[in-house]
């Protein structure tokens, strides 16, 4: 689906349901339980993020959590039907911009080692590889490593 009317807005508590729906749509039943956590984090005072809409339809979001001058990317996802049109990169840029405004100087994230798309996006957006967590992701019979990435904000 080609998007025509994309806009981005800082996430508020009022976006919690839309964010959770995107999360469930992207990850399906495998990570259904985590959607409750995502919903709660959307309303947590340490969290902030950005939501993207195609007209009125929510298509992607980034959610970060801050502790002092560091923020972790909790999740970045874009609905499959609208990928490869720059929405993920734009959400990441806006999330980092928002983090900077919140006084964050360092952003960390974990990405599944097999997730080449996301890894490429992060590496071309200022993130460097700083570590690896073996067997970090465990879903059903699937176990995979996490790569830890870091980005310094100026």
| 3-state SS class at 109 | strand
**42 binds ligand COA per the rule CB under 6 A:** no
CA of 32: how far to CAs of 40, 44, 59, 105, 111, in Å? 14, 20, 18, 32, 19
Stretch touching ligand COA by CB under 6 A, among 2-10, 31-39, 79-87, 94-102:
79-87
Residues 90, 13, 25, 32, CA torsion sign: positive
Q: Which is nearer to ligand COA, 45 or 48 (CB)?
A: 48
Among 11, 38, 63, 78, binds ligand COA (CB under 6 A): 78
Stretch touching ligand COA by CB under 6 A, among 7-15, 33-41, 42-50, 71-79:
71-79
Among 4, 7, 13, 84, binds ligand COA (CB under 6 A): 84
The contact mask relative to ligand COA for 90-129 (x = CB under 6 A, - = no) is ---------------------x---x-xx-xx--x-----
20 near 58, Cβ under 8 Å? no
Q: Concatenated DSSP letters for 44-103?
A: -TTEEEEEEEETTEEEEEEEEEEETTEEEEEEEEE-GGG-SSSHHHHHHHHHHHHHHHTT
Cα gap 119→122, rounded to integer Å: 5
**139 binds ligand COA per the rule CB under 6 A:** no
Q: Which is nearer to ligand COA, 103 or 131 (CB)?
A: 131
- Kindly list the residues in this chain that would bind ligand COA in the complex (CB under 6 A): 26, 76-78, 83-89, 111, 115, 117-118, 120-121, 124
């Amino acid at each position: 689906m080609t998007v025509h009317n994309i806009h981005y807005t800082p996430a508020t508590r009022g976006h919690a349901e839309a964010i959770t729906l995107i999360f469930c749509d992207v990850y399906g039943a495998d990570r259904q339980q985590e959607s409750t956590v995502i919903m709660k984090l959307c309303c947590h005072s340490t969290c902030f993020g950005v939501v993207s809409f195609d007209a009125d339809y929510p298509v992607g979001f980034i959610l970060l959590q801050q502790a002092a001058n560091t923020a972790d990317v909790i999740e970045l996802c874009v609905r499959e039907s609208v990928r490869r049109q720059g929405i993920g990169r734009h959400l990441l840029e806006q999330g980092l911009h928002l983090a900077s405004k919140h006084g964050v100087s360092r952003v960390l994230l974990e990405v599944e080692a097999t997730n080449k798309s996301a890894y490429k996006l992060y590496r071309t957006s200022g993130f460097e590889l700083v570590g690896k967590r073996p067997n970090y992701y465990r879903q059903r019979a699937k176990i995979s490593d996490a790569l830890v990435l870091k980005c310094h904000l100026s």
